[in-house]
Amino acid sequence: GSRLAMLAAAAAVAGALPPMPDSLAEAANAVREEGRSTWAAYYKHARGFDSLRPLSHRGVNDWGSVGMMAIDCLDTLWLMNLTAEFKQARSIVEEIDYTPAGREARSVSTFEMTIRGLGGLLSAHALSGDRLFLRKAEQLGEALNTAFVPGRFPLPSVSLKKQGAGMHGGGGVNPAEVGTLSLEFHSLARATKRPEFDAGPDDVRRRMAATVTLLNSSLVPLSLKSSGGAHPTGRVSLGAMGDSYYEYLAKTAILDPRLRPTAGAMFKAALLEIEQQLLVPREHGRTFLAEASMNGRRGRPAGGASAAGAPRAPSDKPLFSKILKMDHLACFLPGTI
Least confident of 93-102, 187-196, 310-319: 310-319
Higher-confidence residue: 36 or 2?
Answer: 36
Q: Stretch 311-318: mean pLDDT, rounded?
A: 60
Q: How far apart are CA 195 and CA 188, in angstroms?
A: 9
Q: State yes or no: pLDDT of 112 exceeds 80.
A: yes
- What pTM was computed for the model? 0.85
Q: State yes or no: pLDDT of 335 exceeds 80.
A: yes
Q: State yes or no: pLDDT of 331 exceeds 70.
A: yes
Q: Stretch 61-71: mean pLDDT, rounded?
A: 94
- For the stretch 198-213, pLDDT in tens is 999 999 999 999 999 9
Q: How confident is the model at residue 265 (pLDDT cuts 50, 70, 90)?
A: very high
Q: How far apart are CA 38 and CA 277, in angstroms?
A: 43
Q: State yes or no: pLDDT of 80 exceeds 90.
A: yes
**Distances in whole angstroms, Cα of residue 107 to Cα of each of 113, 169, 180, 251:** 10, 11, 18, 28
What percentage of the chain reaches a pLDDT higher than 90? 68
Q: How far apart are CA 150 and CA 129, in angstroms?
A: 34
Q: What's the whole-number average pLDDT of the chain? A: 87
Q: How far apart are CA 202 and CA 331, in angstroms?
A: 27
Higher-confidence residue: 286 or 27?
Answer: 27
pLDDT at 113: 96
pLDDT at 170: 57
Q: How far apart are CA 292 and CA 172, in angstroms?
A: 20
pLDDT at 247: 96
pLDDT at 229: 76
- For the stretch 295-309, pLDDT in tens is 876 544 444 444 333
- For the stretch 14-32, pLDDT in tens is 445 566 667 888 999 999 9
Q: Stretch 262-268: mean pLDDT, rounded?
A: 96
Q: State yes or no: pLDDT of 268 exceeds 70.
A: yes
pLDDT at 315: 55
Q: SS in 3 state form for the chain?
A: CHHHHHHHHHHHHCCCCCCCCCCHHHHHHHHHHHHHHHHHHHHHHHCCCCEEECCCCEEECCCCCCCHHHHHHHHHHHHCCCHHHHHHHHHHHHHCCCCHHHCCCCEEEHHHHHHHHHHHHHHHHHHHCCHHHHHHHHHHHHHHHHHCCCCCCCCCEEECCCCCCCCCCCCCECHHHHHCCHHHHHHHHHHHCCCHHHHHHHHHHHHHHHHHHHHCCCCCCCCECCCCCCCCEEEECCCCCCHHHHHHHHHHHHHCHHHHHHHHHHHHHHHHHHHHHCEEEEECCEEEECEEEEEEECCECCCCCCCCCCCCCHHHCEEEEEECCCCHHHHHHHHHC
Q: How confident is the model at residue 282 (pLDDT cuts 50, 70, 90)?
A: confident
Q: How confident is the model at residue 313 (pLDDT cuts 50, 70, 90)?
A: low
pLDDT at 213: 92
